Chains A and B, each alone.
Chain A
Amino acid sequence: EVQLVESGGGLVKPGGSLRLSCAASGFTFSNAWMSWVRQAPGKGLEWVGRIKSKTDGGTTDYAAPVKGRFTISRDDSKNTLYLQMNSLKTEDTAVYYCTTVANWGWHFDIWGQGTMVTVSS
């Protein structure tokens, strides 16, 4: 079964850091481009960033609100995607979803169940 399972969410103070993980199974993770998408409480979806597969260069790209503060990385030996979040702000409070970028496409075809991050003093 194809599956993405996020973990690592929780409560953190403004200015703090948190690392999210996303464990993948049921597909060849090393070949997949991966993305993070977030959703603030009661709000819409917002793309956070993307990492290519290592064979495609392994490069990352980020949305403007998180650039310079968030870092996406991957460990293909562990089939795991990471999101390192630093200098957190209250507006980063959201459910964070891990997704795959479809092969030969520009859409998100597999989604995890999400993990909640709350930034509050």
Chain B
Amino acid sequence: QSALTQPRSVSGSPGQSVTISCTGTSSDVGGYNYVSWYQQHPGKAPKLMIYDVSKRPSGVPDRFSGSKSGNTASLTISGLQAEDEADYYCCSYAGRWVFGGGTKLTVL
């Protein structure tokens, strides 16, 4: 399995919305609704933000939402806040797990 494709970086101003894409194939992202998203601040462990494409664990703000269309999943963060600045990774399960390369979100 090859790594999923994410943009290397995205940016937005406080209060704006940003969307991070995650492109795979029909064998992973497109074939299963098992896409998850993780937030990682520098020097910290990843944190689960979205699972099963669009479900939010308890404690994750509803500013974070997920969706999928075909072989591409997306994470949207609305009402950007300074603390959202971090690296974000998508992950798909298709018998085994494969991660995206990660996207650095900068809050301007």
| Residues in A lying within 8 Å of B, measured CB to CB | 35, 37, 44-47, 50, 61, 63, 97, 102, 105-109, 111-114
Number of A-B residue pairs, CB cutoff 8 Å, is 57
Q: What bracket does the count of chain B residues touching chain A fall in?
A: 20 to 34
Chain B nearest CB from A113 CB (Å) reads 6
Asked if A61 contacts B96 (CB within 8 A), the reply is yes
Asked if B48 contacts A114 (CB within 8 A), the reply is no
B15 at the interface (CB under 8 A from A): no
Which secondary structure dominates chain B's binding surface? strand
Chain B nearest CB from A78 CB (Å) reads 22
- 20 residue pairs bridging A and B, Cβ less than 8 Å apart: A35-B97, A37-B46, A44-B89, A45-B46, A45-B89, A45-B102, A47-B97, A47-B98, A47-B99, A97-B45, A97-B46, A102-B51, A105-B52, A106-B32, A106-B97, A108-B48, A108-B91, A109-B57, A111-B45, A111-B46
Closest to B36 in A: A107
B107 at the interface (CB under 8 A from A): no
Chain B nearest CB from A34 CB (Å) reads 13
Contact A113-B34, Cβ < 8 Å, known A45-B99, A61-B96: no
Complex alpha-carbon distance, A61 and B46, angstroms: 22
